[in-house]
Structure 1
Amino acid sequence: MKLWLLIPCCWVSAVVAMDLMVADAQQEQGQRSPTLSFCQARFYEEDDGRLYCNWAVNFRYACFAWWPTNKIIPAGAKLSEPKVVGKCGNGEPVYKLHHY
């Protein structure tokens, strides 16, 4: 077997091993991936470092949730300010929040 055939295999194996070590380190440190949440503007409230709203996984569900949810997002988890991304059928604006 020729040596030059083994070099790419070793390089790919090393890259995969590094990616796995980074992923393991992030999980041990409790880091999470950023996510998006949606809610109706009338329910959005910031109080005592917490964000309350009728949080939903997408725009459509935010329009159908007519009450605040039990999900509370820490204000420090915000990656951006809430942004209006559209309106429900009743005219209520819907916010999109990028957060951890």
Structure 2
Amino acid sequence: MWQWLLATSLLVPVSFDTQTIIVGPQPGEGQSPYLSFCQQRFYEEEDGRLLCNWAVNFNYACFVSYPSNKVIQAGAKLSEPEVVGECDDGEPVIKLLHY
């Protein structure tokens, strides 16, 4: 008798409540935009790339006196470069909102 019950229970489909776990950005959600700063004299658009001495804030942009290896793709640009101030030596610093 138990064998028949066991065999029957194996044939009956069992449904489980499944949950999808997504690691990383959720579908439909994009990256958060970044704000980068650099000295205006280093800003250059070349072959779809934005080159400059990119820094995370205004002060660092004044201290880094040479172009960095960081490259921003031109398609990631959300705004045009905007002058936001000057370093102590009078060099204009621009900001750029991008992905």
Distance 2:38 2:75 in 1: 18
Match of 1:24 in 2: 26
Larger helix proportion, structure 1 or 2? 1
Report what 2:5 is aligned to.
Answer: none
SS of match in other structure, 1:62? helix
Q: C-alpha root-mean-square deviation of aligned residues, in Å?
A: 1.9
Instruction: Count residues in correspondence.
Output: 77
Runs (5+) with no aligned partner, structure 1: 1-19
Q: What secondary structure does 1:63 align onto?
A: helix
Alignment correspondent of 1:94:
93
Tell me which residue corresponds to 1:15.
none
TM-score of the superposed pair, with normalisation by structure 1: 0.72
Sequence identity, in percent?
A: 67
Q: Report whether the alignment pairs 1:63 with 2:62.
A: yes
- Letter of the 1:56 partner, please give it: A
**Can you give the 5+ residue segments of structure 2 that lack an aligned partner in the other structure?**
1-21
Q: AA paired with 1:54? A: N
Runs of 4+ displaced beyond 2 Å: none
Tell me the CA shift for residue 32 of structure 1: 1.6
